Every structure is written in structure tokens, then in C-alpha cells.
Amino acid sequence: MSGPDRGTGPGPGPGPSMLRRLLRAFEEAAPGEGLAQIADRLGFDRAEAADLAAYWVRKGRLRREEIGTVDCSGCFFASRGCTTCPDDSAAPRPALVALTPVRRPGPGTPAP
């Protein structure tokens, strides 16, 4: 069977099983495994995987954290001739984005 509910083949958009597969992959991911690696492993288009991850962020099942700073002056690479950041100091700086699963408490476990 193909189609959006199976996560394969053409269809109008991501189906429920694709959403569940992506969330499960994040929950079971190896340390350091990111969205790109998970998308590749699942055979998902990376842009579509990003949309699926954004859904889980909105639902509170994944936490999105930007690691870094908007000021390059404290960056290790700034002193090494990095050319990644634009010259305009008001422009946003690149940051590492981490997506981590939010663990739901089990039965009988008090919520934090």
C-alpha cells in the first residue's frame, strides 16, 4: 500500500504515520544525530522532514533550541577569519539548532 498514510509514494501531504515515524526516530536517535540524518535514514525529503518536525515542536513533543549567539565577537571562529557571518552587525548570526524529544511522564510519575 502506498500513499500519504504509509509515508511513501505521491500524495497530498504527510500522513499520520510519517509524523509518528519522525517523532519515534527522534526519540530513538543516537547522540548527535540531527534532522538531516534522520530524514535520510527514513527516506524523507529534508524539507518535508523539517515541516514534520515543526509540527511536533508546535505540539510540544519536540523542543527547538538555538545554540549560539547573535554576536559573532564571542565565536571561536571569529578570531580565525570566519567569513560565514555577514559584515552587517545587525544581521542575525547563524546558530546551531537542536531538536530534542520532550519526554512525557509515565503513569504514576509526577509531571515536572
Lowest mean pLDDT among 14-18, 36-40, 100-104: 14-18
| Contact by Cβ (8 Å): 15, 7 | yes
Domain 16-101, CATH number (from 1.10.10, 3.90.580, 3.40.1350, 1.20.120): 1.10.10
Higher pLDDT, 23 or 93: 23
pLDDT over 70 for what percent of the chain? 56
Q: Which of 18, 62, 64, 63 is nearest to 42 (CA)?
A: 18
**Where exactly are the structural domains of the chain?**
16-101
- Does this model's pTM top 0.85? My answer is no
54-84: pLDDT as tens digits: 999 999 999 998 776 555 555 555 555 565 5
